[in-house]
Structure 1
């Protein structure tokens, strides 16, 4: 197998080749089908070029789509299941191959594969671990504080943010604006240094540091080499600061789990501050419903008229609502063409000239209960309920939506309903 990793410029016309890779299939891999060989080559490529593919969108140009085969495979054996999990951390987009010459280099590398290749180990660490035993100790003694940091560098400015989390779960946010030119990696280091110094001021000896920059985290852990001259001094300074701690550990954290520090850094980079400003700790609340919902409920309680009140007034007396605009009057005239008044009862005329009685909210609620779970109720879904109600001769404007919501809230329908075993998308055989 062989692969070529290339990088396009902003115009997309030029391509700079970064890396060539090739390997020879092992004895067991030679017995794979063609599509499984493509999947194996893709997994092997992601393991070898992880540092390039982790932070960029990768276009996969191939004769067939191995991603679709993995996601829609009917037999999830151990090999395919492992491949799916290993590919989940990358942003890979399949692109159709438009020309044969585009894969000429990859085909050449596949024909000149290395002979002394050692196969990669796709096993997950600690997968044979049965249990973990912990010893009893003081819950406060040696329990680590947590530090989340992040930096932001954009066209407006540069900012850093850090959140220190105590033993009890209390959050202490810190943020600063950087008034000098720096890169995003320099801002990440600045945020880490600020958070570590804050922890030192609080006499914290055991600390867990979390950041969403893999470059900074793995350089501080010593797994990656620091080559950028701008970052060497930052790393040296942090290594001197961590000597003040009894135990400090660095962990990589995905960006979606580091939202608090990211928000603080973005806030500091977007706001222009002339002098240091002291802002009290931010208290965050959770609203489960929009603020206007309570006002709407009060208006509905005070409004004693049914939903068809304006239509009834126009059909009966040709009166428009108060404060109605010209467009509102035109819309009302168009709506009333489908309604018929018989005495004091308003009817809705269907396309087949069948008349449906218009009911208010109280009557609609009773009809929903009777049709869905009454004596003759069948616990049907929302669309079937709406058709049954119209066959019974009743109508209101939000009938179909009310039927769907009522069926979703029915407790018995959720308990005794049939389980849906049909896959969400159609399955296609790729081999």
Structure 2
């Protein structure tokens, strides 16, 4: 029964072009072709003959057709012109050949044997046309399924309940892990009476419970699913650890979804890599899948001067974004060695990012031809570099080497020359360079800034942040930025005006730029303004029904930049520098002792040393000259200048010199308990 569920796909000749993934369906009364296939075949819409006919599928869904299109189809011995109804929808096939084509071509299709039996009227014999050998699961993109199994007393697994359902149009755009979470949520709701009283083991490709609970904010559909699953006792079991026959059969009949390969995203031998087709809504998803499988591109170049050498690399990802790096080589090397250094550095960066498919482009014929074994490496200076480069290239699964002109390698060449013209100080490993753009020559007079009494800069709201949200709400696109699709859930359009949904059911008018600045000026310094703080300004503006994303930050910056608030605000008595903590809480509690000397020449009284004692709290200093630095003289100084004048201190701090560690000083400290 499972083999009968496999659809029958063939490759046909459509108007002189080989087209794969043509489904032969005995349940279809007419032939159908999608607009995406028309664009791939470069068939203009002007050839469509308009009609008011509508199509209805087995589920009862009615689809309006764009019209009729007549195409020449050749399959095996059958060739003729057939009518196709054009539909503007996404499908897993390129076209459908229904009973109209089957009967007129004298064809008997078999989904069990995956072949067509066709009658050749010229030779009066039957011919067998094999279907495409690639497996196509039944509605893999639109159906989810689950199985509830239980072990009996003997440990044998038995299937209890099977569940399957068709995803809605919105659910088909979920990610794979979100579809698995939806499967768990649907199964738990349907089998709640089974799962409430026991601990249920979840067998899936990944830990769904951990994924949902690790979300930073439980909101949206993930939050809804988590709240519904809180009453169940769930335990994750890896899929590879399962040995039950019932689950093995279920997984065999419901294979996991994977990203389609590039070969499945093609029409005949024309690979889908044309960026201009990405503008077609029906083709955008296919183009993104193809772009994601394109390799990275590495451009590299080296440069050498009399003093320094540099290496420049440019990495281009599959979506066209470029990342530039410049390295300064502080060792002696030739220009060819610098070229190899740039190549090795670029390959190491790609391997660190996990890239395994790369296209290497360089303007050095020597390096490219040596890597391709066209040139023999005769220099012993380049041999270590060549061996290291080959060692790194062996770690890639697919490498494409190509020599290009210097004009195409302009960016890497400029980066290499830039590294040789910059001097880095000792100990500095990298330096950030800023490149600014000027649109007017320096001799032109630039406009003076406006004379505004409010000193503040509000750059973030000068950009119209509403444009991408308005464009998405007017024409929802599943290929739009994920952030835009997520933010659009909180907005609505009223006419051509963007509105923000409020928590209490009221919506706010979205503003930006000068209008937002005018609102803050009116709320802060207007007729009814009382120079409120930033949070109060935000509350007033929202109270009047206005909103923009950075409203709180901009209101706080506006209030801080108001000159009147700075002139008439309360005086701040806090010091402008951080206060330094003190070691001792009151005067004369701790003293620091030290000796200065020997002094040359000596004084007239033959004083050779100076002893200094400094109070930690008041920084008061006691100083006395000494003829000798002995324990007796230091003991006499401590007793007369510190204890008799300021009282017995708590601590005396010294550098543990021989004079301070002598017997008289230690005896004094012991007697007074210092």
TM bin (shorter chain)? 0.3 to 0.5
Whichever structure has more helix as a proportion of its residues is 1
Larger relative contact order, structure 1 or 2 (CA cutoff 8 Å, min sep 6): 1
TM-score, normalised via structure 2 length: 0.23
